Structure 1
Amino acid sequence: MHPHSSLQKSQQRQQQASPENWQQTFRQMALFDLASDMELGFFLAYYRNFAIPSIAETLARNGEISDRPMKRSYDTGIVIYELIASGLDSDRGQQMISLLNRVHRHVPGTTEDFLYVLLTLLVVPIRWIRKHGWRQPTEMEIAAATRFFAGLGHRMHIDSVPGTFDEAAEFFDSYEVRNVAASIPGVALMDATVQVLQDRLPKPLRPVTRLMISAMLDDGRLTTALGLPRAYRWTRTALNAGLSLRNAIRRRRPLSKEPHFSPGSAGSSVYPHGYSSRDIGPINVMSGPTPAGHELR
């Protein structure tokens, strides 16, 4: 099949997807069509939490990020991708939601704080894709992503999750205007986790990882709050040129038949031989109950 045929068929399928098939539509978007950009968006969403002093203080007090930055970052990604790949109401999905609820049971914070953390995972990747993706997300993809995170929020007992992407973005922006600020814990968390993205960049870019993060965030408020260097014009130009080249190449290749993530599989320095449900999460909750016969592999 010609590369363009593969890409066009997938895009057409995503444009014409039924609203009732929202989980499959989002799965196709996150694991195949726009997988690399969704992953970058999730990275940037993760960092963004450190720019909220109250959230940063809670995360720093927990100690997981500073003590085990690689594990915490990969576990966060694994939980989200498990939910996307398997479905919110699947056995694996229920295990992940149970883990999330155990982890957050005694975490201090307002309803707005929890809602903001949830919506970073929706708003940041969609905005990144709109600006830098090899193609624009379809309206059905955006609606499916919104419904996915609304469903996740409901299962985590987070009230008043917006029903549309525009409403989610409006809340997200308003919350950041009121809450983004520099803090000692936020800067320390950022410093501890720079290595996570650094390890995934090509070697020539690793010495300028912090500058690249600043360019990707493209927001002076955030770079100041996180203690990152302000992005230079050449940094943003280099980033945009690199992404444009990547997108041009991407459009000339067929859509991958292998998903970006496979539940339980190896593929990181943290879990080189794969993982089970008992490996995921903070040390003090990893041994939480797992339904009989439903161990992750």
Structure 2
Amino acid sequence: MGVLSLVHAPGRYANLRRIRSLDPEVDHDEILRLTARLEFPWDYTQGTGIAFMRDYGVPSIAAVLDRTREFEDHGTKRYDDTILIGDEATLDGIDSPRSYAALRRLNRIHGHYDIPDHELAYVLATTIVGPVRWIEAYGWRRLDDHELAAITKVTTRFGELMGIKGLPTTYDGYLALLVDYERRHFAHTPEATRLAEASIRIAKEVAPAPLRPLLRRVTIAVMDEPLREALGLPRQPRWLVRAVRGGLRARGRLLRLAPPRRTAYAHRPTSYPHGYRLEDLGPTTMLDALNRSAS
């Protein structure tokens, strides 16, 4: 990872020292918890959000997602449910009973659609590459090799529990999968633009009010050009792109001076202000069928 920053808050690297003392093959769940919920909770969330939008750049995936109208009609619930199923699969460990129940439900949801394995593998790749790329660009430190190995281990096991075969076992393998898939499949469609605009509206709904007026332009400004073009979103002025990205890098540097987070981040779903059960998660039109098949 390189040398640690000489200017940092006391205890800022305590979690990293803990991570380096663990074995990614055995302690992957704990390393993921430390990385995603204590070291980089905001960055992990932002990187995951951009990752979700990459799916829209693949026309066959965008066509299915657009046809469901989940983003248009139940956008905030769709956003919350996606995050919460991921939480259910990882909070107690990827091989816990809680995880198995969440993945069974996810598989039942996917079973309503004809989704080929190569699309599922690509979507899975976005969920690891998106956060890693974001942290590499804007995080307060670089990710350690132990972190990359642990995140990869959990990602591959997640995919295995979805029934996906032949998945990568290294982060570089997932990166290569994503880059090659996008080279062959990325293309703009009207469905991609509708989904992207719907996702930005969802982000506005859950964002603090002062951030909402500029959120659309800022979101586009952090996109790489192939993604922006595939989504059919307007190019932003260079000064805005430089300002947004520069501001995010400055935030990362300033965070080195902040004390380490003491409590693990937990997503607070707007859709379920009084709490949720696993039976609440999934497309509204499917809930009865999903819950009948689970009983």
TM-score by length of 1: 0.90
Q: Which segment is superposed worse, 81-90 or 180-189?
A: 81-90
> After superposition, where does 1:201-240 map in structure 2 within 5 Å?
201-217=207-223, 219-240=224-245
Show the counterpart of 1:261. 266
Of 240, 250, 261, the residue aligned with 1:245 is 250
Task: Say whether the 8 Å CA contact 1:51–1:225 is kept in structure 2.
Answer: yes
Indicate conservation of the 8 Å contact 2:137/2:249, yes or no: no
In structure 2, relative to structure 1, the CA distance for the partners of 1:200 and 1:68 (3 Å cut) is closer
Return 5+ residue gaps in structure 1 as ranges: 293-297
Q: Distance in 2 between matches of 1:203 and 1:224?
A: 28
Q: CA offsets per residue over residues 239-279 of structure 1, 9 Å max, x none?
A: 123223322332222222211116xxxx3321112211121
Alpha-carbon contact 1:210-1:228 (below 8 Å) kept: no
Q: Give identity over the alignment, percent.
A: 31
Distance 1:209 1:73 in 2: 17
Checking the alignment, whether the CA contact within 8 Å between 2:222 and 2:245 is kept in structure 1 is no
Partner of 1:176: 182
- Count matched residues: 285
2:63 matches 1:62: no
Matched AA of 1:276: R
In structure 2, C-alpha distance between the alignment counterparts of 1:109 and 1:261, rounded to whole Å? 30
Alignment of 1:141-220 (within 5 A): 141-217=147-223, 219-220=224-225
| Structure 2 gap ranges (5+) | 1-7
> In terms of mean alpha carbon deviation, does 151-160 or 198-207 score higher?
198-207
- Find the aligned partners of 1:201 and 1:236 in 2 and give their Cα distance: 20
- Structure 1 CA distance, aligned partners of 2:253 and 2:16? 16
The 8 Å contact of residues 102 and 285 in structure 1, kept in 2 or not, is answered as no
CA positional deviation for 1:201: 4.3
Q: Structure 1 CA distance, aligned partners of 2:181 and 2:239?
A: 31
Distance (Å, rounded) in 1 between the aligned partners of 2:186 and 2:67:
19
1:131 partner letter: A
Q: Take 1:18 and 1:190, find their aligned partners in 2: how far apart are those partners?
A: 39
Aligned equivalent of 1:129: 135
AA of the residue aligned to 1:70 = T
Q: 1: distance between equivalents of 2:167 and 2:195? A: 27
Counterpart AA for 1:224:
E
